[in-house]
């Protein structure tokens, strides 16, 4: 029984090694990209009218 439990734990350990949290990684990537390319990929805010009559 101990062997069975140990192997199950080992399997879940392997699963967590293989498991990669893609969405949090994408969020982290976006934060890093924002810091490195601060003014490249953000939407450009609309320009205010130069002069309003």
How many helices (DSSP H) and strands (DSSP E) are in the chain? 2, 0
14 close to 7: Cβ distance less than 8 angstroms: no
Residue 48 as a binder of another protein (CB under 8 A): the answer is: no
Q: Where do we find the tokens 């934060």?
A: 31
Structure tokens at 17: 């090694």
Is residue 45 close enough to count as binding another protein by CB under 8 A? no
* Shortest Å, Cβ 44 to another protein: 10
Nearer to another protein, 40 or 50 (CB): 40
Give the footprint of another protein on this chain (CB under 8 A): 1, 4-5, 7-9, 11-12, 15-17, 19-33, 35-38, 40-41
């Amino acid at each position: 029984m101990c062997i069975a439990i140990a192997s199950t734990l080992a399997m879940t350990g392997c699963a967590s090694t293989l498991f990669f949290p893609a969405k949090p990684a994408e969020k982290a990537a976006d934060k890093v990209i924002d810091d490195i390319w601060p003014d490249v990929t953000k939407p450009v805010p609309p320009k205010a009218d130069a002069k309003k009559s």
